[in-house]
Amino acid sequence: MPFLPRALKRRHSSRRIGTVLAAMALLAAGGTTGTATAAATASTCPSVNGQWAAPGPFAVSSASNGRGTTVFRPTDLGTLGCTTHPVILWNNGARSGLDRYAPLLNHLASHGFIVAAAEGNAGTGGPMLRGLDYLTTENGRAGSPYQGKVDLADVGATGHSFGGGAAVDAGADPRVDTIAPIYPLAFSSGSRVRGPAVFYAGQNDTIVPSSTVRRTYGQATQVPAIYAEQRGADHYGIPGLHGPVTAWFRFHLMGDEQARGLYFGPDCTYCSSPLWSAFERNPRARAVPGP
C-alpha cells in the first residue's frame, strides 16, 4: 500500500479514515468501493468547492493571549458544519511582525482553522509549540470559548522566512502532522520532519534563494515532500500563496478531498500549473494516491 498522508491515518476523521482504508482494501481485493468512496470524500468542515484563494465562510476574530501568542480564529467556533477546528501554528519572519501576515492568517481562519501565531521572531519551533500548549489547555478548560472546539489531533505549521525555518523545526514534534513553510530559512534539517511537507520557494527570491529551500526539501526523504517554486515571486510573494497553502491544510487537516488532486496523483493540477517555475515531488509524494 502506498504511503498515505498522516491525515488519512489519524483520529480526525475516524469515519473518513475507515472509509478510505476500507475502499483501498476493497480495491486491493478486486471489489468495488461503491458508497465507501463517496463517504471517504466527506469532511468534518464543508468543502469550499475549490475556492481556496477566496475568503472562507467564517467571520474572523483575533486576540493576543498576553503570553506571546495571537490567535486568529472563526468568531463563532463549532458552527457552519465544523464541530471542531484544526490548528495551524505560525511564526514570523526575522524582521516582521504579525501585521505583515494578518491577511494570510485571517484568510486561514476564515476557512475554519484556529491559527496560533507566535508574536516574536524566533527561528525555532518553541514559540509556535507554546501556542499549541495554550490551545490544548483552553480546549479542556471549563468556560473557555475554545472548550471542546479545538481539533488537537490535526495540527499543521507554517511561517515565513526565518519563521518558515521555525515551522520545519516544529515539524519534528509528534503533535504536528504536516508543514507548509514559506520561503524557509531552516536551521533544522528537513530529515526531522514527521509528516507530509510542502516547501514553497520564490523564483526571484534573493533573501532566501530557491536553492536554499530546495536543499531543505531534499533532506525530507522520510515523508511525502513537495518543492513548489512560485513563478516570478520575490521574498514577499505571500499573497499569491493564499490559495495553495489553504488547499494544502484543508486536505491534510480537514480531509477535504477536493484539494487532493492539486498536489497528488499522476495528473496533479499543480504539476503543470503556470503558478510554479518548478514543482517537484519526492518518491513518497508521488506514491500518494490521487483523487
Residues 138-165: pLDDT tens digits? 999 999 999 999 999 999 999 999 999 9
β-pair partners for 190: none
User: For 19-28, 74-83, 183-192, which range has the lowest pLDDT when averaged over its residues?
Assistant: 19-28
Backbone angle region of 49, left / alpha / beta, with phi > 0 → left and psi within -120 to 50 → alpha: left
pLDDT above 80 for 61:
yes
pLDDT above 60 for 286:
yes
pLDDT above 60 for 199:
yes
pLDDT above 80 for 13:
no
Higher confidence at residue 243 or residue 10?
A: 243
pLDDT above 70 for 7:
no
Q: What is the mean pLDDT of residues 98-109?
A: 97
Distance between CA atoms of 258 and 249, rounded to whole angstroms? 12
- Say if CB 7 and CB 154 are below 8 A apart: yes
Question: Across the chain, what does the average pLDDT equal?
Answer: 88
**Confidence (pLDDT) at 95:** 85
pLDDT above 50 for 233:
yes
Q: State the pLDDT confidence band at 14, using cuts at 50, 70 and 90.
A: very low
Residue 247 φ/ψ, nearest 5 degrees: -65, -40
27-to-34, 35, 87, 148, 199 alpha-carbon distances in Å? 11, 13, 33, 36, 32
pLDDT above 90 for 26:
no
Q: What is the pTM of this model?
A: 0.87
Q: Distance from first CA to last CA of the chain, Å, rounded?
A: 16
CATH annotation of 6-286: 3.40.50.1820
**Confidence (pLDDT) at 46:** 85
